[in-house]
């Protein structure tokens, strides 16, 4: 999806810690990007910064 291996690992770890991996890390990032009108890398960056976790489309 265009994340580096280091970014991808951090994202997956963060999503796994919140027990959300069953929904698909890629799906959560993509749907967040769509709902916020930002690009995918920006959405990943927001999650890594601790933002928007409550806005994830579950």
Catalog residues that contact another protein under the rule CB under 8 A: 1-7, 9, 16, 21-27, 30, 33-34, 39-40, 58
Min. distance of Cβ 36 from another protein in angstroms?
13
The residue among 30 and 48 lying less far from another protein, judged by its C-beta, is 30
The residue among 26 and 52 lying less far from another protein, judged by its C-beta, is 26
- Count the neighbouring beta carbons within 10 Å of the beta carbon of residue 4: 9
The residue among 53 and 56 lying less far from another protein, judged by its C-beta, is 56
Find the Cα–Cα–Cα–Cα dihedral 11, 13, 17, 21, rounded to 10°. 70
Q: What gap in Å lies between CA 15 and CA 47, rounded to an integer? A: 9
């Amino acid at each position: 999806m265009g994340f580096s291996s280091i970014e991808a690992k951090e994202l997956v770890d963060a999503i796994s810690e919140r027990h959300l991996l069953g929904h698909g890390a890629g799906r959560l990032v993509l749907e967040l990007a769509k709902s916020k009108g930002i690009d995918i890398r920006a959405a990943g960056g927001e999650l890594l910064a601790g933002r928007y976790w409550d806005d994830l489309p579950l």
